[in-house]
Amino acid sequence: MTIDNNQLVSRYMKLQAAHKTYFAAIGEYVDQQLDVLYDRLNTTFHDSLTLSVQGAIDYAKSQGVEITSGINLTLATQNFMVKMLDNQGLLVEGGAHSSDVVIGKLNFENRARYV
């Protein structure tokens, strides 16, 4: 049997769904950081959002949610954060600065989406 990308993504999403409480907490963390950026844009031209993967993991722990089943938690969290920012239309940078940092930047080329 040849395994294709759809099968791989399906399995990945199934594993993510099995830990939906954890990823909901990570989503809350990212949303809070997006709210901070949105508020900053009232008075500054700050155009990026710097997120800490470990900060997101710590936030989930503070909400009483952990994954302890041997999953690569850092990678799973980083992937979720990148996907979430991308779904919001932000340009995503990551890995070049540090494996713990995900940077979302305003996407001025995507302006038609918001006008």
Rounded Cα distance between 18 and 94, Å, is 26
| 3-class state of residue 111 by DSSP | helix
Helix ranges, the chain (H): 5-18, 20-40, 53-62, 73-87
Residue type for position 56: A
Flag whether pLDDT at 104 surpasses 90: no
Flag whether pLDDT at 113 surpasses 60: no
Q: What is the pLDDT of residues 20-33, one digit of tens each?
A: 999 999 999 999 99
Domain boundaries, the chain: 5-113
